Amino acid sequence: MSEETQKQPLAGEEVDLGPLFTALGRVFKSFFDFLRRTFLSVFHAFIWILLFLKKHILLLVIAIVIGSVLGYVKESFSNPVYRSDTLIRQNYSTGETLNDLVTYLNNMRSSQDTITLSRMLNIQPEEASMLQEIELEQLVNPNGQLVDFVQYKRKLDSISATDLTLDEFLQNKRSFNFTDQIIIIRSIDQIPYGQIVDAIIERVSSSSFFQNQRKKILAELDRREGVINDALTASDSLQKIYREVLVKSVEPETANQTTVTIDNTSDQNLTKEYELFKDDIELRRELVRIARAKEDNDIIIEILGEYNKVGVVESGMSFGDSKVSYPVAFGILAGLLILTLIVLREFLRFIEDYQEKRLNV
């Protein structure tokens, strides 16, 4: 009886493992069948694309050639466009004012008001008529974006700062609010680009609001500098006292001589003098930082670099961050246009065939 009882669980285990292996086999078979079907679908799609291109390759080539020829004609006979770039840094929150000024100048150019434009930019009306566009483009610097993000979070309360992410900050921040900007000037002939940039910066910097902000910041820095200088003066006087105490502490004592000490130990005198020395070093470093801050805040908008100061010929079309010549750009656009029309025609044919088959069923 006991032997039969011991054999029953063993037999039960063999019966249970069989369906388990069968289920695993089905899972692996389904997985490999899925991979096979996926591979065949991709392979069939690839073959269909090749056959489609083979069927219409001649028409695509003709379209690309015609587009390239048109691009070459445009590049050869159209008037050249000159471009000048100037990199600036906004030490104050001048982004919105600068952007509004650039928009206003472009509106004056669109309305052909060369008199007002020449007066605002300090150039001749003939030079203002050659102006084509003024553009403001942000210089994307990942480190600068991170610094702006950290400084902005410090202004928020703890709950809002915790919920705000860097991506949300960059999405909500307008492009003209970035510190570093590029002023791009385009014209149909070479004009005094540096003079135009200086006039734009002068108009923004001369604003009474930013001038008052500049005065307040510089006055605050002057007060901080004065407080630190007073602290250094007091520290120098205190160090002189400690040095006198140290000198007296090492002189040989006589019967009639009274030793003057602070806290009754010369070691503490040495420690206090060293602490004062370290504090002086930190205060002098703060003076250096204040001097740098005064230099930065003294200029509302500063020019970091003038590229293409005389203007270079700008030709071609932009595709994102890339720029290609007109023959290549027109060839690509013509090929894409014909390809789109062919795909649309094939799609309409597929719908008609599908409708006919459905009616015949």
Burial (CB < 10 A; 0-12, 13-18, 19+), residue 22, is exposed
Q: Are 113 and 191 in contact (CB under 8 A)?
A: no
DSSP for 111-128? Answer: TT-HHHHHHHHTS-HHHH
pLDDT of residue 259 exceeding 50 = no
CA distances to 182, 217, 224, 232, 327 from 290, in Å: 28, 11, 8, 15, 56
CB atoms within 10 A of CB 254: 7
- The pLDDT, as a whole number, for residue 202 is 92
Mean pLDDT across 48-62: 86
Mean pLDDT across 77-88: 85
Q: Cα separation of 22 and 37, whole Å?
A: 22
254 φ, ψ (degrees, to nearest 5) = -120, 175
pLDDT of residue 315 exceeding 50 = yes
- The pLDDT, as a whole number, for residue 286 is 86
Two tokens, residue 329: 């750009």
Q: Are 245 and 260 in contact (CB under 8 A)?
A: yes
- The pLDDT, as a whole number, for residue 11 is 47
Q: Domain map of the chain by residue range?
A: 2-78+325-347, 81-90+97-207+311-322, 213-249+259-298
- The pLDDT, as a whole number, for residue 239 is 67
| CB-based burial, 92-105: b 16+ in 10 Å, e otherwise | bebbebbbebbeeb
Specify the 3-state DSSP secondary structure of 81.
Answer: strand
Number of Cα atoms under 13 Å in the Cβ half of residue 135:
12
pLDDT of residue 197 exceeding 60 = yes
Least confident of 54-58, 62-66, 278-282: 278-282
**Residue 143 amino acid letter:** N
Specify the 3-state DSSP secondary structure of 329.
Answer: helix
Mean pLDDT across 166-186: 76
- The pLDDT, as a whole number, for residue 142 is 64
Cβ neighbours for 53, distance < 8 A, ≥ 6 positions apart: 60
Q: Cα separation of 152 and 331, whole Å?
A: 47
Q: Cα separation of 215 and 212, whole Å?
A: 5
Strand bridging mode 81-90 / 180-187:
antiparallel
Predicted confidence (pLDDT) per residue in 93-125, tens digit: 888 899 999 999 999 999 988 899 999 999 999
Two tokens, residue 286: 């703060």
Could you give the percent of the chain with pLDDT greater than 90? 17
- The pLDDT, as a whole number, for residue 102 is 93
Least confident of 162-171, 204-213, 294-303: 162-171
pLDDT of residue 199 exceeding 90 = yes
Specify the 3-state DSSP secondary structure of 304.
Answer: strand
CB atoms within 10 A of CB 311: 20
Indicate the helix (H) or strand (E) that contains 86. Answer: strand 81-90
More confident residue, 31 or 159: 31
